[in-house]
Amino acid sequence: MVDKTTHFGFQTVPESEKAGRVQGIFGSVASKYDVMNDAMSLGIHRIWKDAMMDWLAPRSGQRLLDVAGGTGDVSFRFLARAGAAEAVVCDLTEPMLIEGRKRAEAAQMAEQLSWVVGDAMALPFPDNSFDVYTISFGIRNVTRPQEALTEAYRVLKPGGRLMVLEFSQIPNEMMQKVYDLYSFNIIPQLGQAIAGDKDSYQYLVESIRRFPDQETFLEMIKGAGFENTRYRNLSLGIAALHSGWKI
């Protein structure tokens, strides 16, 4: 049986290799991941994640699954707003979870937090388990994003909500060109200077360009069964928030 192919940045690779390559990249940058996020986005990723929480409006008693949750940023924000709630951080790359557990917030919220190694396309959780599913800057790294959305639908309870925060496309062609110049010329250099890893950040920039635009991704969410689907652009469309409900 011939292995199907997928993209890894601008490369074409066998589907069977992508997850391992992604693990290698995030394992490599885990210790510098949070510092690099601040440097690459000039701290704006924090504003985007706060905007995600504003739209999500966490409530007491909810159970969150944060897939590709990395070092816990979104789960920490969710619990801070929801109060008496629970969050499960799920990530394919264990070194990212290890870094997350070292953070001060992890110790403060330990009673409400779980850290699980898992694959977005085959989540280790039963059907109808969570009130909220989030994935931030992670779904573009999944080998088959449509399968990840189908899994999100499966593990959400009826009435549950999906929210995806991901880099997207700027509708203005000139602004997109300016952003591309920054991305391809500055971000890999920052990766080299801060994390000692230019290649991983070259991949991250390329993976952003390969990800579907806002409308195409909205159709993928509908295709997984979600209803009342919408999206909002952030920072002119550099990032976008997509929302859907399991009804």
Q: pLDDT-based confidence at 139, cuts 50/70/90?
A: very high
Supply the pLDDT for residue 143: 93
Average pLDDT score over residue span 111-135: 97
Cα–Cα distance, 15 to 223 (Å, whole number): 21
Average pLDDT score over residue span 153-171: 96
Cβ neighbours around 202 below 10 Å, total: 19
3 state DSSP class of 192: helix
Cα–Cα distance, 96 to 77 (Å, whole number): 17
Contact criterion met (CB below 8 Å) for 235 and 168: no
Supply the pLDDT for residue 195: 73
Average pLDDT score over residue span 154-181: 95
pLDDT at residue 233 above 70?
Answer: yes
Average pLDDT score over residue span 105-133: 97
Cα–Cα distance, 99 to 142 (Å, whole number): 21
* pLDDT one-digit tens code per residue, 4-61: 888 877 788 788 888 888 787 776 766 777 776 777 777 899 999 999 999 999 999 9
CA-based nearest residue to 151, from 124, 131, 178: 124
Write the DSSP string, 83-151. SS-EEEEEES-HHHHHHHHTSHHHHHTGGGEEEEE-BTTB-SS-TT-EEEEEEES-GGGSSSHHHHHHH
Q: pLDDT-based confidence at 1, cuts 50/70/90?
A: low
* pLDDT one-digit tens code per residue, 202-212: 888 888 889 99
User: Which pTM was predicted?
Assistant: 0.90
What are the backbone dihedrals phi and psi of residue 196, each rounded to the nearest 5 degrees, phi first? Answer: 65, 30
Supply the pLDDT for residue 22: 78
Supply the pLDDT for residue 3: 66
